[in-house]
Amino acid sequence: MKNIAVIGAGTMGNGIAHTFAQNGFKVNLIDVSEASLKRGMDTISRNLDRMVSKEKITEADKTATLANISTFTKILSGIQKADLVVEAATENLNLKLRIFKELDETCAEHTILASNTSSISITQIAAATKPERVIGMHFMNPVPIMELVEVIRGYNTSNEVTQTIMALSKKLGKTPVEVNDYPGFVANRILMPMLNEAIETLYNGVAGVEEIDTVMKLGMAHPMGPLQLVDFIGLDVCLSILNVMYNGFKNPKYAPCPLLVNMVNAGKLGVKSGEGFYDYSESKKAEKVSKQFK
The string of pLDDT tens digits covering residues 68-104 is: 999 999 999 999 999 999 999 988 999 999 999 999 9
118 is catalytic: yes
Catalytic-role residue among 36, 138, 196, 275: 138
The one-letter amino acid at 13: G
Catalytic residue among 68, 188, 196, 273: 188
Establish whether 188 is a catalytic residue: yes
pLDDT tens string 207-230: 999 999 999 999 999 999 999 999
Catalytic residue among 118, 169, 196, 240: 118
Question: Catalytic site residue 18?
Answer: no
Exactly one of 150, 196, 240, 275 is catalytic; which is it? Answer: 150
The per-residue pLDDT for 291 is 47
Sheet holding 69-72, edge to edge: 69-72, 26-30, 3-7, 84-87, 112-115, 134-139, 148-153, 175-180
